[in-house]
Amino acid sequence: MATLIVHGGAGRWDRGISRAEVDSGLERAIAAGWRALGGGALAAVVAAVAALEDDPLFNAGTGAVRNSAGGVELDAGVMSATGLRVGAVAGMTDTTNPVRVARSVLEDGRHALLAGAGASHFAAETGLPLAGHERLEAMARPVSGAAGDTVGAVCRDPAGDLAVAVSTGGTPGKLPGRIGDSALCGAGFYADTPGAACATGQGEAFIRLAGCRRAIELLAAGMDAPTAARGLIEELRERVGGEGGIIVVDAAGRPGVAHSTPAMPWAWRTDRDAARWG
């Protein structure tokens, strides 16, 4: 079964942003990912997350929050269960689509994670467009903004391949140079033969728990995606006192969503039923 799940970030959403606007953004992301599904699970999750990066409602790409110095630093990661291929970038200041740079890191294959100026140099050499930090900062949310935290997608394609993509502007008012879970394989994202998982919320908590790798371990132990998602969020609270959310798809294509935050908008679509929202 083909399944695609997207989320718009866990946290407390700005009351000035209507749920209808958020759902419209998620709908566009699902549509973009589903159109790309013919290229496989990895193409689908990258397309879905890039659509969310392009939407200023979400804390990624064009809608990223500012750090404590007023700057913008973006992280993103992608992973395919096939061959455990991974690519990630951290601290980028001059692109609106870091998820596409992360995919290029994966495809290039020499490294798993590039940061800062090195990631920008790689993007330029690869032919990916750079926006300039002035443009990112002009579009950014203020430090006190209440955007959701992180966007992401997981997918099982019709051939059974699994993939995950994640992108974030980080936490509002973070220290310059702070890297969260979204750039760290196993913490904010992971994909292996039992399934794929993507986290959102308190990044430091997911790093300490290696949260997404732990969710895949729960799948490998026999849990389905809904049970693994709930179990991981409970472990996050019990073991490290963290809160957040997670989306999970298992090897059978079953979707799982759980969160302990006041909000985490999400949507999924499968080839057996219409899109669902929460």
Residues in the chain: 278
> Is 150 part of the annotated catalytic residue set?
yes
Task: In whole angstroms, give the CA distance from residue 198 to residue 212.
Answer: 6
Task: In whole angstroms, give the CA distance from residue 117 to residue 103.
Answer: 17
The answer to whether the beta carbons of residues 163 and 79 sit under 8 Å apart is yes
Beta bridge partners of 74: 92
Reference 196, options 176, 174, 225, 173; nearest CA is 225
Task: In whole angstroms, give the CA distance from residue 239 to residue 6.
Answer: 26
Q: Which of 3, 96, 150, 168 is catalytic?
A: 150
Reference 181, options 157, 162, 202, 159; nearest CA is 202
User: Which residues carry out catalysis?
Assistant: 150
